[in-house]
Structure 1
Amino acid sequence: MKCTMIDPILGFSKLSKQEKIDWVAERYTHDPAQTKKLLKQYWNTASKVQKLHDEFIENTITNYYLPLGIAPNFLINGKLYAIPMAIEESSVVAAASKAAKFWFDRGGFKTEVLGTEKIGQVHFMYDGDPEHLKTFFKAVKPMLIKDAKPLSINMEKRGGGIVTIELRNKTAQLKDYYQLHCTFETMDAMGANFINSCLEQFAETFKREAQQYAVFNEKEKQIEIVMSILSNYVPNCLVRAEVSCPISELTLSESVTPEEFADKMIRAVHIADVEPHRAVTHNKGIMNGIDAVVLATGNDFRAVEAGVHAYAAKEGHYKSLTHARIEHGVFKFWLEIPLALGTVGGLTTLHPLVGLALEILQNPTAKELMQIVAVAGLAQNFAAVSSLVTTGIQEGHMKMHLLNILNQLEATEQEKTTIVDHFKNHTVTYSAVVAKLDKLRSRP
């Protein structure tokens, strides 16, 4: 590798795309010519798509592809969906599809949006009488809304806008710390830019009016705005997804009875409720399904992840996001999860595959997308936990991973066909695949 202790590069973002590639390849890779060839293999030069990709972020040198798959047969509130999923993990789409088909025959998924409230905060420091601040806030609140009107008027026309502005005293947690805690309705937009713009206007008005407020002394007038930013923790932007059926219909495995299966599922969920080490992996399985749909539809999976995991810890310790119980002979499996999503703006109008994914989903509203995404997470978790409590996770996962192993071993198409057929009735392990491939290649 050619990387050495050298001076930092200045003005890298101003270089052409080719100059950036040359710089990276020649300084940080063993084979610059091969690196340049590899990067260009992933360019989309046949259309305008490449220019869009180049302008999404700074310093683009190529595209990083993920497979886009389809999980069919999702019956959600009586409507049939095929769900696009962008993910590289071998067994996720297969597991989601299997769960979708199982529940299709048992009435499908039932979902409900419980709330769509999104949150933003102006964080500030105030060293003065709390009662003076409360009085000031009451006086200035109408001005906050008035000054933000040019920003909120279009959102209001669509049925959204600023919902509440509250003053919160957080000095018990941090000296002199207060916040304007604000809620918003952003309709079909995720709304990050709208919320942040409103918050910055609130901050500007709040600070300006404080300096003119007669009740404040000179020290109290010097309110320090620390930051104005939306929160990705949205516990009131909530969706519920559920499946249920008589216990007798839980015929997933020949190794356990339906009654045993139901009991095992409930115990598995209870373990994730009380054991954080298990809960993290349990919830990761849920996010396998959720992230794949969030990514395919051009939403911010990092924001979703952060908010979901905070919600999983809302009771003081990290626990399962799914729940299970038996009522009057009926097995119920469900989750309630915060999801702030959008179907307009951002990548939805720029990325052609995002537009296609939304079209495949029949152009859902933001509320409908919340329900679809929640179902994907519930299906994925049901598939994973049901495997864990019956055959174990590796049997199905390794069969899906088999082609990845064969590609790593540079198997030919004929070798792949032979080996895949062999492992239909044998346990897949890396060493077993290597041994079978070696044996196949050693034949005269």
Structure 2
Amino acid sequence: MPRTSRIPGLRDLSVEDRRTSIARAAGIDPGSIAAFDPAHGLRIGLADHMIENAAGVLGVPLGVATNFVVNGVDVLVPMATEEASVVAAASNSAKIARLHGGFTTSSTAPVMQAQVQIVGVADPEAGRVRLLEARDELIALANEQDPKLVEFGGGVRDIAVRLVSSRAGVYVVAHLQVDVRDAMGANAVNTMAEAVAARAAEIAGGTSLLRILTNKADLRLSRARAVFDADALGGPEVVTNIIHAAALAEADPYRAATHNKGIMNGISAVVLATGNDTRAVEAGAHSHAVSPAGLYTSLSRFEKDADGNLAGTLELPMPVGLVGGATKVHPTAQAAIALLGVRTAAELAEVITAVGLAQNLAAVRALATEGIQRGHMSLHARNIASTVGATAAEVPAVVARLVTDRKVRADYAEQVLAELRSRQ
């Protein structure tokens, strides 16, 4: 059976039946995602080896976004998030994108950078040039630290040197630009930076200080684009309103912060589900959102195409990996990778970027039409109903009242639940 991301009625199944349906749709053995069940997920014994002073394991809801087509391939996307409506919103946007072929993605080479800060250089300009002259020597020294990476086609690709003026003086900062292949790459580039620091400082004529990667991963970009059908969005007026909403995010940092948060709702959920570093991805994304003019702006762009449909694009750094770190240790992360079916870090990065664009479209569309609260609050109402003790059979009725009366609050839910039970 070919892979498909279309699973009608998935929300109506039991959790166990959902897992079976998801595995069947992904073309994998249900045992491959057994770790989605908390009973088979991360145990405290393994957690104790992952961090210091481990005292427990925090559970985060893990859902699966449907309807995604990425570069012509159906993809089921695991998303770990505590926020209601995120998974449903991404799935709905992906369904609209399917009408015009889904998401098309691309990416640059998986190049991460490490910085070596050199202080006390008497002649910084000349020091910069001396380091560039020693390029081959420094590259060879760095690559000696990870022969396996070089064997797999990675390693240092180049060295750049910048002069950074600060209130404490001018620093010579050397950048190692390293192709890390299918790793996130932090450990590899940090090790290389440590190895070359002393020699780089000697050549520059100063003293090395910081030796660490930068999370401004602007050489490791992923891109996604999609066409969202105007009629499916609600018509030409909705397209125009979405463009106006997106244009405000481009021009206004206050709107851009929340606009980009909507993008990261999708991105961080997939990054977390696959055991990757959410903080590294978020830091890189927000630094990329600063324009050359110094304005914090939107990461995405929306415009009208020649047919009147909405064309959306997203480009941002995506430093994620399939080898090393929690991705290879955490059983649920391994199950998430199995479900995705990705073979390289680049494929994973591109799927994540597509999800970010889908999530963004859903949020902006809601804002430009009914407002964010209607859809979001109906899902939030379910959480409130459960919190006050409503049973599975009682939740729908409580939710309906909360949403209809526009009072999605715990105190009102308690009142509604009491009234409901008094009539039974």
Please say if 1:322 is aligned against 2:303: no
1:289 aligned partner: 266
Amino acid aligned to 1:103: A
Please say if 1:116 is aligned against 2:99: no
Amino acid aligned to 1:324: F
- Counterpart CA distance in 2 for 1:433 and 1:132 is 71
- Counterpart CA distance in 2 for 1:53 and 1:138 is 44
- Counterpart CA distance in 1 for 2:361 and 2:377 is 18
Please say if 1:300 is aligned against 2:281: no
- Counterpart CA distance in 2 for 1:125 and 1:244 is 50
- Counterpart CA distance in 1 for 2:229 and 2:125 is 58
Q: Decide which moves more: 115-124 or 137-146.
A: 137-146
Deviation at 1:321, TM superposition (A): 1.1
Indicate if the aligned counterparts of 2:267 and 2:353 stay in contact, CA closer than 8 A: yes
Q: Please give the per-residue CA displacement for 1:210-238, whole angstroms capped at 9, x wherever unaligned.
A: 5xxxxxxxxx85x2211100000012211
Aligned pair partner of 1:78 in 67, 72, 76: 72
- Counterpart CA distance in 2 for 1:302 and 1:78 is 30
Aligned pair partner of 1:406 in 369, 382, 385: 385
Deviation at 1:384, TM superposition (A): 0.9
1:443 aligned partner: 423
Indicate if the aligned counterparts of 1:83 and 1:361 stay in contact, CA closer than 8 A: yes
Q: Please give the per-residue CA displacement for 1:292-338, whole angstroms capped at 9, x wherever unaligned.
A: 00001111010111110011113311111111111322421111111
Indicate if the aligned counterparts of 1:240 and 1:374 stay in contact, CA closer than 8 A: yes
- Counterpart CA distance in 2 for 1:188 and 1:48 is 23
In the superposition, the TM-score normalised over structure 2's length comes to 0.84
Please say if 1:155 is aligned against 2:118: no
Please say if 1:236 is aligned against 2:223: no
Indicate if the aligned counterparts of 2:155 and 2:180 stay in contact, CA closer than 8 A: yes
Deviation at 1:347, TM superposition (A): 1.4
Deviation at 1:115, TM superposition (A): 4.4
2:233 aligned partner: 252
Indicate if the aligned counterparts of 2:96 and 2:232 stay in contact, CA closer than 8 A: no
Q: Please give the per-residue CA displacement for 1:18-68, whole angstroms capped at 9, x wherever unaligned.
A: xxxxxxxxxxxxxxxxxxxxxxxxxx8989833211111101111111011
- Counterpart CA distance in 1 for 2:169 and 2:228 is 53
Seen in structure 2, the aligned counterparts of structure 1 residues 105 and 396 have a Cα distance that, compared at 3 Å, is same
- Counterpart CA distance in 2 for 1:117 and 1:173 is 30
Seen in structure 2, the aligned counterparts of structure 1 residues 48 and 129 have a Cα distance that, compared at 3 Å, is closer
Please say if 1:61 is aligned against 2:39: no
- Counterpart CA distance in 2 for 1:190 and 1:356 is 19
Amino acid aligned to 1:64: L
Deviation at 1:263, TM superposition (A): 0.4
Structure 2: 5+ residue stretches without partners: 1-37
1:141 aligned partner: 135
* Other structure's SS at 2:323 match: coil
- Counterpart CA distance in 1 for 2:59 and 2:285 is 26
| Higher alpha-carbon Rg | 1
Amino acid aligned to 2:242: M
1:333 aligned partner: 312
Q: Please give the per-residue CA displacement for 1:328-371, whole angstroms capped at 9, x wherever unaligned.
A: 22421111111111011111221111111000011331110111
Please say if 1:365 is aligned against 2:344: yes
Aligned pair partner of 1:310 in 287, 303, 307: 287
1:128 aligned partner: 122
- Counterpart CA distance in 2 for 1:299 and 1:80 is 22
- Counterpart CA distance in 2 for 1:301 and 1:112 is 21
Amino acid aligned to 1:205: R
Please say if 1:225 is aligned against 2:208: yes
- Counterpart CA distance in 1 for 2:94 and 2:128 is 53
Deviation at 1:131, TM superposition (A): 5.2
* Other structure's SS at 2:145 match: helix
What root-mean-square deviation, in Å, do the aligned CA atoms of Structure 1 and Structure 2 show? 2.3
Indicate if the aligned counterparts of 2:253 and 2:297 stay in contact, CA closer than 8 A: yes
- Counterpart CA distance in 2 for 1:240 and 1:233 is 16
Indicate if the aligned counterparts of 1:402 and 1:428 stay in contact, CA closer than 8 A: no
2:101 aligned partner: 107
Amino acid aligned to 1:235: D
Indicate if the aligned counterparts of 2:163 and 2:172 stay in contact, CA closer than 8 A: yes
Seen in structure 2, the aligned counterparts of structure 1 residues 180 and 173 have a Cα distance that, compared at 3 Å, is farther
Amino acid aligned to 2:248: I
* Other structure's SS at 2:315 match: strand
Q: Please give the per-residue CA displacement for 1:156-185, whole angstroms capped at 9, x wherever unaligned.
A: 111110011123222477513111122111
* Other structure's SS at 1:89 match: coil
- Counterpart CA distance in 2 for 1:332 and 1:45 is 43
- Counterpart CA distance in 2 for 1:245 and 1:272 is 19
- Counterpart CA distance in 1 for 2:41 and 2:160 is 49
Seen in structure 2, the aligned counterparts of structure 1 residues 396 and 125 have a Cα distance that, compared at 3 Å, is same
Q: Please give the per-residue CA displacement for 1:83-121, whole angstroms capped at 9, x wherever unaligned.
A: 000111011111111111222233211111144322111
Aligned pair partner of 1:386 in 351, 358, 365: 365
Indicate if the aligned counterparts of 2:223 and 2:313 stay in contact, CA closer than 8 A: yes
Q: Please give the per-residue CA displacement for 1:141-169, whole angstroms capped at 9, x wherever unaligned.
A: 33322333321321111111001112322
Seen in structure 2, the aligned counterparts of structure 1 residues 426 and 104 have a Cα distance that, compared at 3 Å, is farther
* Other structure's SS at 2:320 match: coil
Percent of residue pairs identical: 38
Indicate if the aligned counterparts of 2:300 and 2:313 stay in contact, CA closer than 8 A: yes
Please say if 1:178 is aligned against 2:167: no
Q: Decide which moves more: 297-306 or 152-161.
A: 152-161
Structure 1: 5+ residue stretches without partners: 1-43, 211-219
* Other structure's SS at 2:418 match: helix
Indicate if the aligned counterparts of 1:123 and 1:177 stay in contact, CA closer than 8 A: yes
Indicate if the aligned counterparts of 2:233 and 2:239 stay in contact, CA closer than 8 A: no
